[in-house]
A and B are shown apart, each in its own frame.
Chain A
Amino acid sequence: MESFTPLTAALGGALIGLAAAVLWLGNGRIAGISGIFGQLLPPAQTVVWRVVFLVALVAATFAAAQLFPGLGVGGEAPARLVEAPPAWGVPTPVWLAIAGLLTGLGTKIGNGCTSGHGVCGLARLSLRSLVAMLVFFGVAIVTVAVTGVV
């Protein structure tokens, strides 16, 4: 468990919780990323705050990596995505395209992702979110075991 980082995990988690708290108590909105980017189209008036939020999200990640480069990927180590497991005989771009497609489609149909269901939904004691979270965590764990991607 050499890679286990409980302190930065809890600190980062608290920041994510604070982000969700600010958006909820300030604007009454759920900080669910799939919902925020998934409702950019069709263009409505809410597009403005959604874009502002997403631009700030990217800017903060980049800035944090410059300020605290020692924390890992994006700082001292370049970020990289997975490669397709060789046993599956699929080129990596195709593998990532399928993963991206399923992530976008699944979070739209299931109405939420790790932040919307996981953080905001559970905090609201939503049974829907609890069920969704148990399902996508369970399926993801099985998928990692089956694909052997790491």
Chain B
Amino acid sequence: MANLRLPYLATAALSGLLFGSGLYVSQMVDPFKVLHFLDFGAIPSGGWDPSLAFVMGAALIVMFVAVRIGRGRAAPLFDTSFHEPEYKKIDRRLIGGAVLFGIGWGMAGICPGPAISLIGFLPDNLWIFLVAMFAGSLAGSFIVPSGHARRLADAK
């Protein structure tokens, strides 16, 4: 199968390496760096850190170009089609999920990327967060179907 061939797996590895490097270089692995962006109450006193906006902005520009390049191609290099989400509806699940994630993110300053990459540094209590995150994701998969094909079918 296509997704077990070496070029495919090497691409996944390269992407993971770039992603992890980016999380460290941008300091987004540091929960406090993230929280100091989310702390808008610190704007008047000058204690606000807008760095996260620069991370998102730069990442977005690069990915936007890649999506444009992809639009001109029938398929990616190592698979038969682009796995683009087809479900377009803005529903209660999307909003509700984003609200729950927003609360969790604001409580700890850790989104899923940094949560995983922090394994490299093993700060105290990380395993508690990781086990809970995995359990939450697993619980969620009983509420909503996983994968956009099943989601599409579920919406009909």
Query: A47-103: which have CB < 8 Å to B?
Result: 48-50, 52-65, 68, 71-75, 78-82, 92-93, 95-103
B110 to chain A, nearest CB (A): 7
Known: A56-B20, A107-B101. A62 touches B108 (CB 8 A): no
| Cβ–Cβ contact B97 & A140, under 8 A | no
| Cβ–Cβ contact A144 & B54, under 8 A | no
Residues of A within 8 A of B63 (CB): 17, 20-21, 24, 119-120, 123
Contact of A16 among B18, B67, B76, B81 (CB under 8 A): B18
Known: A108-B140, A110-B101. A81 touches B16 (CB 8 A): no
Total interface residues on A, using CB and 8 Å? 114
A53 to B66, CA, bound (A): 19
A14 to B25, CA, bound (A): 10
A19 to chain B, nearest CB (A): 4
For chain B, which range describes its interface: under 10, 10 to 19, 20 to 34, or 35 or more residues?
35 or more
Contact of A109 among B38, B105, B143 (CB under 8 A): B143
Question: What is the predominant secondary structure among interface residues of chain A facing chain B?
Answer: helix
For A18-51 the 0/1 string (1 means CB < 8 A from B) is 1111111111111101100111010001101110
| Cβ–Cβ contact B139 & A105, under 8 A | yes
Query: B6-30: which have CB < 8 Å to A?
Result: 7-9, 11-30
Contact of B147 among A34, A39, A62 (CB under 8 A): A39
| Cβ–Cβ contact A104 & B132, under 8 A | yes
Known: A56-B17, A101-B135, A150-B32. A38 touches B106 (CB 8 A): no
Residues of B within 8 A of A98 (CB): 104, 107, 132
Known: A11-B25, A29-B83. A16 touches B59 (CB 8 A): yes
| Cβ–Cβ contact B76 & A150, under 8 A | no
For B126-156 the 0/1 string (1 means CB < 8 A from A) is 1011111111111111011011100100000
15 A-B pairs with CB atoms under 8 Å apart are A12-B27, A13-B58, A17-B58, A27-B11, A46-B3, A53-B19, A61-B24, A63-B21, A64-B24, A79-B123, A104-B137, A105-B137, A108-B144, A114-B113, A128-B89
Given known contacts A59-B120, A109-B100, what 18 new A-B pairs fall within 8 Å (CB)? A12-B28, A17-B66, A26-B78, A34-B111, A37-B116, A55-B16, A61-B29, A81-B123, A99-B129, A103-B105, A103-B110, A103-B133, A104-B139, A135-B98, A139-B105, A140-B103, A140-B105, A147-B106
The 5 closest A-B pairs by CB, nearest first: A110-B97, A12-B26, A143-B106, A139-B102, A104-B136
